[in-house]
Amino acid sequence: MILATDLDGTLLYPRKPIGVLAERNRNFLRRLHAQGHAIVAVSGRNSKILPDLNKDLGFAVPFIGCNGGFIIGEDGKLIEKRPIDKDVVLELYASMIDRCGIGAWLVMDETEQDYFDVHNLSSFATVLAVIGNFFSFKYGEKFSLNRKEFLHRLSRGNICKLEALTGIGIGKKRQAREASIAIADIFSDSVRVSSTGIAIEMTARGVSKGEALKRFIESRGYALDEVIVVGDSGNDVSMFDLFPHSFVMSHAEPWVKAHANHVVKGVFEVQRFIDDPSLIEGDRVKFPTEG
């Protein structure tokens, strides 16, 4: 059996101020590892969090980052990378920069550095974001708010994930959902779009957490029904729609819950389903992907 778990809002929920993992989740994963089961971290993040995660677990795990944009093995080496076409990134940014209420943009790849363009985001929201990142401790990201650096990185290409943020305030989540629909309508031939809270996350067409995980587990000789996936947000739906043994966090939005077979309050609760396989015997994918 292989457990594939999202990080933010899932494995890292509830958040522990200093450490990366809550004790119950850490102990659960250590038991699984000791029993010979495999574990994969699947996230929208870059690679910065991986060393701390491995340290707290006491063993190294493969890492699928940027919503499937890259895969890193247990040895820390890059297995694959699927960036968005450079011309598509530039066209998307140029055409959407001042539309749909988007306040900030972010580019990410497999490295530890993120680059932001916050020229449409209020100073108050920007300050809150910086403070929030500072007090995230191990959760914190390395990022630049220098727009020139952002534009330079954008023009270089080789970007695994482009992210647009609608800001902080009432109605911003709804605004993000509407923006994601608008972007998908225009760029569906070039990118995959998912909405998570106030974020619109874009990867290359055909690149998602689910597809990357599928390629990874097949390379290791696992079948789809030997995998348990756990997540909590829109970018996890691609896993729910490919793998029958799907678990969603209880705090997830209703439309995300609709795609999963089981609801849990914490990743550690998956233990009882592993101990009693009859609980997942009837699992079926609710929204099969085409092809």
48 confidence band (pLDDT: 50, 70, 90): very high
- Check whether 134 has a pLDDT greater than 90: no
Condensed to tens digits (0 to 9), the pLDDT of residues 53-85 reads 999 999 999 999 999 999 999 999 999 999 999
Contact residues for 279 (Cβ-Cβ < 8 A; gap 6+): 272, 273
Burial class (CB in 10 A: 0-12, 13-18, 19+), 157: middle
Q: What is the pLDDT of residues 217-239, one digit of tens each?
A: 999 999 999 999 999 999 999 99
Please give the DSSP secondary-structure letter assigned to residue 67: G
CB 43 within 8 A of CB 49: yes
- Per-residue pLDDT at 158: 95
Q: Is the bond preceding residue 14 a cis peptide, omega within 30 degrees?
A: yes
Where residue 8 falls among pLDDT bands split at 50, 70, 90?
A: very high
Determine if residue 221 is left, alpha or beta; phi over 0 gives left, psi from -120 to 50 gives alpha, anything else beta.
left
The pLDDT, as a whole number, for residue 78 is 98
pTM higher than 0.85 = yes
Predicted confidence (pLDDT) at residue 125 exceeds the cutoff of 70: yes
Q: Would you place residue 290 in the very low, low, confident or very high pLDDT band (cuts 50, 70, 90)? A: low
Backbone dihedral angles phi then psi of residue 156, each to the nearest 5 degrees: -75, -25
Cα–Cα dist 61/258, whole Å: 29
